[in-house]
């Protein structure tokens, strides 16, 4: 039996989504830019999916740009806003996903932009008073890019407050909402955000399919030049099958959000309780242990210093239990998590991110706790 506890990296493909995608693969294969019957069929499918996704976040269909996923969406938005408005300053945090950190660092060097990282407390909560003070000057020259839900420690940003700060100062606001879309209600009409990123594989859709929300009236130059697809922002033949899967997955996630949330919270709470009961000196990173004020899919656990936990991820993998130490995009790197380092985590301890989905059950948690105790040399039965 294998156990998958890494859904913050990627989720399983929902069987209903798979069925819908196969049906489309068998029947709709024309290029959506072609004007013949087969092309028009693909175009109709594409625009239907765009309407579905727009409805899920209360956006206009014209505000949805299809991409390959979160990294591309973040890059399009951040590069595009800086270029379109000649911005001179970027405010972000060191706890962001590398999709944001790397492009902001690159732009800072390449265009000689001022790059400012917000302070945070030991739990990873960003200093929004500092942001407010920074925006009192040069707001109209500033891009703020902050993620809604942290993929490693589960902290939730008060995205509405940040949006209001940006609106009042004339700053531009992009948010990486990859971890929150499909898991929390999102209403763009209630948020003062210029752009947001989403990815299907975070809510049981296909990998390689995502979208960028761009608020109506916001300029967004092309990142990829070519045939002018996707409002001339992202040229290239659209991944119609993947986009159909994206739309269906988001429909399911939206319709069943309450039941999925309740189930996942129950599993997460159970794991937290079992860890505290069976493993001495276990700690939790960021806000991830706060069930009501964190990303409910993530529990980031800090294990006490020990020679036995130095290879904990590898040892769990040998037991067919999949977890991670941080973002999957940097899992092959030798250094530890930049997020844990950013909140002054104890480098002598081993941090593991357990992340859950609607597929997980409590018996999987029991097995995982038992294997953890074996690896750590704690032989008391669960």
Which active-site residues does the annotation give?
329
d(CA 157, CA 150): 8
**Rounded to 10 degrees, what is the CA torsion of 335, 336, 341, 345?**
-140
DSSP line for 234-277? B-S---HHHHHHHHHHHHHHHHTHHHHHHHHHHHHHHHHHHHHH
Task: Tell me the backbone φ, ψ of residue 66, rounded to 5 degrees.
Answer: -80, 140
Q: CB of 138 within 8 A of CB of 107?
A: no
* CA dist., res. 59 & res. 319, Å (int): 44
Structural tokens at position 191? 């948020």
Distance between CA atoms of 48 and 346, rounded to whole angstroms? 49
For residue 115, the tally of other CB atoms under 10 A from its CB is 14
Q: Is 283 helix (H, G, I), strand (E, B) or coil?
A: strand
- CB atoms under 10 Å from CB of 225, counted, come to 11
Q: What does residue 80 show for φ and ψ, rounded to 5 degrees?
A: -65, -45
Which structure tokens are listed for 23? 């049906």
255 alpha carbon, distance to own chain's centre: 20
């Amino acid at each position: 039996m294998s156990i998958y506890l890494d859904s913050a990296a990627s989720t399983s493909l929902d069987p209903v989504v798979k069925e819908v995608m196969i049906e489309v693969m068998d029947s709709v294969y024309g290029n959506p830019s072609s004007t013949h019957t087969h092309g028009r069929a693909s175009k109709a499918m594409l625009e239907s999916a765009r309407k579905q996704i727009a409805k899920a976040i209360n956006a206009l269909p014209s505000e949805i740009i299809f991409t390959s996923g979160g990294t591309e969406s973040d890059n399009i938005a951040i590069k595009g806003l800086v270029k379109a408005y000649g911005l001179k300053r970027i405010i972000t945090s060191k706890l962001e996903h590398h999709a944001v950190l790397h492009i902001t660092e690159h732009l800072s060097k390449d265009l000689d932009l001022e790059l400012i990282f917000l302070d945070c407390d030991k739990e990873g909560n960003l200093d929004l008073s500092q942001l407010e003070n920074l925006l009192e000057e040069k707001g109209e020259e500033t891009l703020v890019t902050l993620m809604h839900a942290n993929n490693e420690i589960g902290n939730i940003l008060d995205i509405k407050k940040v949006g209001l700060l940006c609106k009042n100062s004339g700053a531009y606001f992009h948010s990486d909402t990859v971890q929150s879309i499909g898991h929390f209600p999102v209403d763009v009409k209630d948020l003062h955000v210029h752009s947001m990123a989403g990815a299907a594989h975070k809510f049981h859709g296909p990998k390689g399919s995502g979208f960028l929300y761009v608020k109506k009236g916001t300029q967004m130059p092309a990142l990829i030049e070519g045939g002018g697809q996707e409002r001339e922002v992202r040229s290239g033949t659209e991944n119609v099958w993947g986009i159909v899967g994206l739309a269906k997955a988001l429909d399911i996630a939206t319709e069943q959000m309450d039941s999925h949330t309740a189930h996942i919270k129950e599993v997460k709470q159970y794991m937290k309780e079992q860890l505290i009961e069976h493993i001495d000196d276990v700690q939790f990173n960021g806000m991830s242990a706060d069930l009501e004020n964190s990303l409910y899919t993530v529990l980031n656990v800090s294990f006490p210093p020990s020679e036995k936990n130095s290879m904990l991820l590898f040892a769990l993998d040998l037991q067919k239990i999949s977890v991670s130490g941080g973002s999957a995009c940097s899992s092959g790197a030798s250094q530890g998590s930049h997020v844990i380092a950013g909140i002054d985590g104890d480098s002598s301890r081993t941090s593991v991110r357990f992340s859950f989905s609607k597929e997980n059950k409590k018996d999987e948690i029991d097995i995982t706790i038992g294997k953890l105790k074996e690896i750590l040399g704690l032989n008391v039965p669960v």
